[in-house]
A and B are shown apart, each in its own frame.
Chain A
């Protein structure tokens, strides 16, 4: 009899805060600067230099905690985590050990089947990012030496630690997406995995389904994208199950994910586990946070994706799916809200349809990110107004839409320049209807013998003749009239 296995996953997510300056010194916190141009005695750990906490880094950590439903530690402190590595000038990382700024939070995720799972956040602490190693040569193993850029050393970093509440790679992927979205709405980070401002380590273990004890876990490092996290978890899950089914024991170890090859390799075993010898940071006094301060920070939080999604459903009548794909990115949500403000709430569904079906399609084709929306809300609303007035048909609107994206012009200009105004002149359309009916006696006979779809076929012909500019309801009415006339003859 084969055992059913359950996978247990916990995540440690590192997120760089979008402050102007580093956490302990006034060097710029900036991605992509020339190497070693944003460094000073503090972030290089030169003797005699002293760290001073950046007020905004403290505020953003608390803000992230509030956005993730955490409690805030009223009295917090910093600790030294000691280890040697070439990207760490001081030989220790300033972090938080037993009194993290935020604790006991949660994120709700919605699974494909519609059920909601609550993933608990154990803690969020503020710490220091390390410098960046540039390996000469194609890979680490082949390099004779490494180059170090300390621009990133001292950038404020928060570490978000979940409880082992995730049960599948899919859940982990959904959690990471949701986490990224919430942090982006909060404005505390730009959360770009490709630029390393969001990174994650994954703890995976498996146990027989129904068991309440945890299996031995492995920790996966170097997971650099959401899809890598999903693949890495699936790989580890299989690896553990295979070991267990062969009667073996999983070793507690740290492994490195090699995404290109789709495998994990051993980094260090439990015996070589690091001993960080934490102790209170003597160079930084403790931090006390008052209720007033917490409430002041809470007031700066924008409407977060869950609340906004609810509002889009109740206030504008959007479906759960439509609301979810609009709130998925902060830029999308802002775009939608602006368009609805311009167009009026009664147009919300139309805005959503165009945004989801057309705008996302175009962005997908052009591989544009959420910060590169190729159409303004004003453009879309201008087009909707022309549809409402009957100036253009729904069919023509699609052409206008693509041209707006292409040229950046407004709908009115495009309609005028290209002569796309709807043909609503009954006389003109009736003449065309009579022509197409007379020209297609076979289809006419079909209609006569009761085939309803034949009338639609004639409407199609009218659309062809007018290049889609005929009002479809009017066209159907006139086709019916022409058919009946023909039948009388």
Chain B
């Protein structure tokens, strides 16, 4: 299954990645090979095999609902390029 240039560009856009034309072509080829490999795996009959939801065999890792101290606001806001009124300041966003 060969991926087209446009498909790569679209996936890159969704991941907010800026790729050059050469990179797009390179990834198109590499990702197509990966998909071909997955296609081969898909041929294995796994009808009676339960799905592996997770790579580790842990389950039900839970914590009690008890509050712990949060970070100081100054520390938090210092991480941002800009802040105002105790908030992170970001470029204008239209509703979504």
Chain A residues proximal to chain B, CB less than 8 Å? 19-21, 26-28, 34-41, 44, 46, 52-58, 75, 77, 82, 84-86, 99, 133-135, 140-141, 143-150, 222, 256, 267, 275, 277, 280, 282, 284-288
Contact = CB atoms under 8 A, between A and B. Distances in A.
Interface in B77-96: 77, 79, 84-96
B1 interface: no
Most buried by B among A133, A145, A277, A285: A285
B86 A35 contact: yes
Contacts of B84: 147
Contacts of A77: 53-54
Nearest to A37: B73
A44 B90 CA distance: 15
A44 B91 contact: no
13 contacts: A35-B86, A39-B70, A56-B65, A133-B93, A140-B94, A146-B89, A147-B88, A149-B87, A275-B14, A280-B53, A282-B54, A286-B59, A288-B60
A277 B14 contact: yes
Contacts of A35: 73, 85-87
A147 B89 contact: yes
Given A37-B73, A267-B96, A280-B53, A148 B88 contact: yes
A82 B85 contact: no
Contacts of A46: 79
Given A146-B89, A285-B61, 20 more contacts: A20-B66, A27-B70, A35-B86, A37-B73, A39-B76, A40-B70, A54-B63, A55-B62, A57-B65, A77-B54, A99-B53, A135-B93, A141-B94, A145-B90, A267-B95, A280-B53, A280-B54, A285-B56, A285-B60, A286-B54
A267 B96 CA distance: 7
B61 A53 contact: yes
A143 B90 contact: no
Contact of A26 (B55, B67, B96): B67
B90 A21 contact: no
Contacts of A285: 54, 56, 58-61
A481 B12 CA distance: 98
B92 to A, nearest CB: 5
A86 B93 contact: yes
A130 B76 CA distance: 17
Interface residues of B, number: 37
Contacts of B79: 44, 46
B41 interface: no
Contact of B95 (A58, A149, A222, A288): A222
Interface of B: 14-16, 53-56, 58-68, 70-71, 73, 76-77, 79, 84-96
B59 A34 contact: no
What 6 pairs across the A-B complex have the smallest Cβ distances? A147-B87, A26-B68, A56-B65, A285-B58, A35-B86, A55-B62
Contact of B76 (A44, A134, A143, A287): A44
Nearest to A256: B95
B66 A145 contact: no
Contacts of B14: 82, 275, 277
A140 B91 CA distance: 12
Contacts of A53: 61-63
A141 B93 CA distance: 8
Contact of B90 (A54, A57, A148): A148
Contact of B71 (A19, A41, A56, A145): A41
A236 B89 CA distance: 35
Contacts of B92: 140, 143-146
A149 to B, nearest CB: 5
Most buried by A among B70, B77, B92: B70
Contacts of A150: 76, 88
Contacts of A21: 65-68
B65 A36 contact: no
Contact of B67 (A27, A39, A148, A275): A27
A205 to B, nearest CB: 22
B87 A85 contact: no
B87 A140 contact: no
A36 B76 contact: yes
Contacts of B67: 20-21, 26-28
Contact of B70 (A38, A148, A282): A38
A39 B71 CA distance: 6
Contacts of A84: 16
B88 A52 contact: no
A39 to B, nearest CB: 6
Nearest to A133: B93
B93 A286 contact: no
A285 B61 CA distance: 7
B65 A19 contact: yes
A275 B14 CA distance: 8
B87 A58 contact: no
A47 B96 CA distance: 27
Given A134-B87, A285-B60, A36 B73 contact: yes
A26 B68 CA distance: 5
Nearest to A281: B54
Contacts of A40: 68, 70-71
